[in-house]
């Protein structure tokens, strides 16, 4: 027969084991999410309200796209708020997301610089995709894709972000934009436009 004391001992051991497993899981998450990326030199991920420590640098996909004869380089933050539409030309979800991005570009109406950021090696495919599907956006690639993806936390595409003139991240959305996300993005863009007019 099982004695009450034996039951308490086994219960105590089971609880200690459970606490140990929770502690190990917490330590694992801490090291993988914070410590290991820091040791590897990965930039800290920013969320909404986060401030860019340094400018994000891009290279245009076609010479002369800036229309100024410049070298084809662009930095964010810039003189206006910047919308970043991050895509890959082979991404089916990016194609589905095009209507939401188009709605945002139409509503932006010159209030923001719009960059179609390609995350892929095949630049000609990326340029063709951006010209065909996002003609009002400037097609660019990050100068350092790893740093760009790490800073903004780009794990998947499509990815949408809004950076203010001061380098503050005003909107971040991995994945496709639903109608609620589009409304939130347009509100953030409107607030930036109103603050720059005052």
- Domain containing 167: what range? 56-197
Residue 19 lies in a domain: yes
- Do 9 and 60 belong together in one domain? no
DSSP bridge pairs for 159: 86, 174
- Do 148 and 180 belong together in one domain? yes
Residue 47 lies in a domain: no
- Do 110 and 29 belong together in one domain? no
Tens digit of pLDDT at every position of the chain (198 positions): 566 677 788 888 899 999 999 888 777 766 665 555 555 555 567 788 888 888 999 999 874 444 443 447 899 998 999 999 999 999 999 999 999 999 999 998 888 999 999 999 888 899 999 999 999 999 999 999 988 998 898 988 999 999 999 999 999 999 999 999 999 999 999 998 887 765
- Do 158 and 121 belong together in one domain? yes
What's the pLDDT score for residue 43? 56
| Contact between 50 and 152 (Cβ < 8 Å) | no
Residue 48 lies in a domain: no
Alpha carbon distance 158, 92 (integer Å): 9
Residue 163 lies in a domain: yes
What's the pLDDT score for residue 150? 87
Residue 129 lies in a domain: yes
Number of domains comprising the chain: 2
CATH number of the domain that residue 157 is part of: 3.40.30.10
Give the residue from 158, 151, 164 showing the smallest Cα distance to 178. Answer: 158
- Do 148 and 176 belong together in one domain? yes
Residue 49 lies in a domain: no
> Going by C-beta distance under 8 Å and a sequence separation of 6 or more, which residues neighbour residue 104?
83, 160, 177, 182, 185, 186, 189
Residue 46 lies in a domain: no
- Do 24 and 94 belong together in one domain? no
Query: Any idea of the CA torsion for 92, 95, 96, 97, to the nearest 10 degrees?
Result: 120
* Burial class, 140, CB count within 10 angstroms (exposed 0-12 / middle 13-18 / buried 19+): buried
Residue 134 lies in a domain: yes
- What tens digit of pLDDT does each residue of 155-172 get? 889 999 999 999 999 999
Please state the φ and ψ torsions of residue 159, each to the nearest 5 degrees: -145, 135
């Amino acid at each position: 027969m099982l004695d009450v004391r034996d039951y308490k001992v086994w219960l105590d051991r089971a609880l200690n084991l459970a606490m140990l497993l929770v502690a190990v899981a917490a330590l694992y998450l801490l090291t993988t999410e914070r410590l290991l990326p820091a040791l590897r030199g990965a930039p800290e991920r920013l969320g909404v309200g986060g401030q860019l420590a340094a400018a994000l640098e891009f290279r245009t996909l076609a010479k002369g796209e800036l229309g100024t004869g410049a070298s084809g380089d662009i930095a964010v933050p810039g003189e206006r708020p910047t919308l970043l539409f991050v895509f890959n030309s082979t991404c089916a979800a990016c194609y589905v997301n095009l209507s939401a991005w188009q709605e945002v570009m139409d509503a932006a109406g010159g209030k923001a610089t719009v960059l179609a950021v390609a995350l892929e090696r095949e630049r000609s495919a990326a340029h063709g995709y951006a010209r065909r599907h996002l003609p009002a956006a400037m097609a660019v690639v990050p100068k350092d894709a790893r740093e760009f993806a790490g800073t903004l936390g780009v794990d998947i595409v499509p990815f949408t972000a809004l950076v203010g003139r001061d380098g503050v991240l005003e909107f971040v959305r991995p994945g496709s934009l639903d109608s609620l996300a589009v409304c939130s993005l347009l509100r953030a863009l409107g607030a930036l436009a109103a603050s720059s007019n005052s």
